[in-house]
Amino acid sequence: MGRRPLPPVPAIIPLSPPHLSFAMKSRILRLTVAVGLILGSALSTRAAATKLVVAFLPKSKGNAYFISCKGGAEKAAKELGVELLFDGPTDSNAAKQNEIVENWITLGVDVIAVAAENKEGISTALRKAQKQGVKVVTYDADAMPDARSFFVNQATPEGIGHALMDDAARLLNQEGEFAMITATLTAANQREWQKYIEARLKEKYPKMKLVAVRPCDDLKDKAQSEATALMSAHPNLKLIMAICSPGVPGAAEAVKQAGKTGKVKVIGLGLPNENRRYVHEGVTDSVILWNTSDLGYLTIHAGVALAKDQLKKGAKEFTAGALGTFQIQGDNILLGKPFVFNKANIDQFNF
């Protein structure tokens, strides 16, 4: 099979050190080959895999949000009897996502489920996968529509944007300054949400003012320094809205340390577990999120159904195991309405 073109070997061998005799060299060579062969065969799993293989790509694999998605995905994989591969960059890195997808293609996986860090960038790799017969679904953040079959939509960007903005307006009585913290300025879904938040603001809340938007690179520490700077730069700031999950506890910690609990409110998209402490202390008023574990569960179900030809383009509904039936809008499978976690209900959730 594929012999990779090695660097210019012949240029080196004739010049090899004179004191290594030919016999000795060939012995080293034979030894090398033998070591490779023996170790290789010992670890080799040549038995043909019989299970469907589903590969699940998060934006960054340490992020608690995706870890809880993975929990649901594992549950679904167990139920359906498929093998689940979970891998992703440790930091949010678009180029690494492409490399991982290309690796999966040559590994011959059946389904690839992707949360896209960069919409256009990942699509080149996904189109290649589709060309080779791999089924592609996206979740959390979509790729280009032609690069996947379905997008498992946790909530429409419109729904998220409006929910956040309305919540902010409720807390501020529809007037005052607020600021936003996003993950990176390049992430497609963050930009989309931001767009709807700004549109809603313009349309319904003329007395409120968005004074700044800061990226936190999906790092909690960075979100904290950004929030600290925002509060001192804008003394009239009433609220910080963080639309990435590490941003909410980061902003809350900054508000708490600045002693402005209650004076500057924090809301955002975040996981109950990361924010529980701040919600109880009254620093963070509420966090909005969908059930991330269900998102993973639904994604795997959709991917497997696609591979088994049980889910086709144009379907109106999709039934995913224990979770029941979900609506399909165009090629978006809708997870449902976002949920608001606050002091009253946050202790009922553990993810």
Partner 1 sequence: MRTEPQPSPRDWPTRLLRHEMLLLYVLLAEWLFFYFAGTTVNRKGVLVGFGTLDRQFDILRHSCEIGLLALALTPIILTAGIDLSVGSLLGLCAILFGKLWHDGGLSLPLATTLTLILGGIGGALNATLITALRLPPLIVTLGTYSLFRGLAEAITRGAITYTDFPGEFLFIGQERWLGLPTQAWLFFTVALAVTLLVHRTTFGRSFRAIGFSPEGARYAGLPVARRLALVYTLAGIIAALAAIIYTARLGQAKADAGTGYELFAITAVVLGGTSIFGGTGSVYGTLLGVAAIAVLKNGLACLPVVMRMNAAEEMAGLLTGALLLFALAGSVLPKLWAAGRSRRSPPSSP
Partner 2 sequence: MNRYFRELSVTGALAIILLGLAAFAPAFFQPQPLLSLATREAPTLIVAGGMALVIITRQIDISVGSQFSVSGICAGLLAARGWPLPLVLIAAISIGALLGALNGLLVAGLRLPSIVVTLATMVTLRQGLNLVRQGEFVNLPDSIQWFGLSQAAGQWALVIFTLLFTVGLGVALRHIAAGRLVYAVGTDAEAARLAGISPQRVTFCAFVCLGGLTGLAAMMNLVQSPQIQPLSGQGMELKVIAAVVVGGVAISGGRGNLWGALAGLMLLACIAPALTHLHVEAYWEKAIQGGIILLAVMADGWRARKGGR
Instruction: List contacts with partner 2 (CB under 8 A).
Output: 60-64, 67, 90-91, 212, 214-215, 219-221, 224-226, 228-233, 235, 246, 249, 253-254, 256-259, 274, 277
Tell whether residue 198 is a contact of partner 1 (CB under 8 A). no
Residue 228: partners with Cβ closer than 8 Å, 6 or more residues away:
254, 257, 258
One-letter amino acid at 26 equals: S
Q: CB-based contacts of 286: which residues, under 8 Å, 6+ apart?
A: 167, 267, 279, 340, 341, 342
How far apart are alpha carbons 227 and 248 in whole angstroms? 10
Q: Taking CB under 8 A as the rule, does residue 85 contact partner 1?
A: yes
Planar angle of CA 262, 263, 265, nearest 5 degrees: 65
Q: What is the CA radius of gyration of the chain?
A: 25
User: To the nearest whole angstrom, how small is the minimum distance from the Cβ of residue 72 to partner 2?
Assistant: 17
Q: How far is residue 4 CA from its own chain's centroid?
A: 34
Of 41, 49, 127, 44, residue with least CA distance to 84? 49
- Report the C-alpha gap between 312 and 186 in whole angstroms: 32
Q: Which residue among 24, 26, 27, 29 contacts partner 1 (CB under 8 A)?
A: 29
Partner whose footprint covers residue 256, from partner 1, partner 2, none (CB < 5 to 8 Å by kind): partner 2
Which residue in this structure is represented by tokens 């005799």?
Answer: 21
Question: Which partner, partner 1, partner 2, none, binds residue 166 by CB below 5 to 8 Å per kind?
Answer: none
Nearer to partner 2, 164 or 271 (CB): 271
User: C-beta of 54: minimal distance to partner 1 in Å?
Assistant: 12
User: DSSP class of residue 147?
Assistant: G
Q: Which segment (115-123, 173-181, 234-242, 297-305) binds partner 1 by CB under 8 A? A: 115-123
Strand order of the sheet with strand 265-269? 208-215, 176-182, 237-242, 265-269, 284-289, 339-342
CB-nearer residue toward partner 1: 123 or 291 = 123
Binding of partner 1 by 46 (CB under 8 A): yes
Q: Using CB under 8 A, which of 156, 186, 332, 342 touches partner 1?
A: 186
Nearer to partner 1 among residue 1 and residue 23 (C-beta) = 1
Our finding on whether 11 is near partner 1 (CB under 8 A) is yes
Q: How far is the CB of 193 from partner 1 (least distance, A)?
A: 14
Element (H, E) at 30: helix 22-43
Binding site for partner 1 (CB under 8 A): 1-9, 11-12, 15-20, 28-29, 32-33, 35-37, 39-46, 48-53, 61, 85-87, 89-90, 93-96, 98-100, 102-103, 105-108, 110, 118, 120-121, 123-124, 128, 184-186, 191, 215
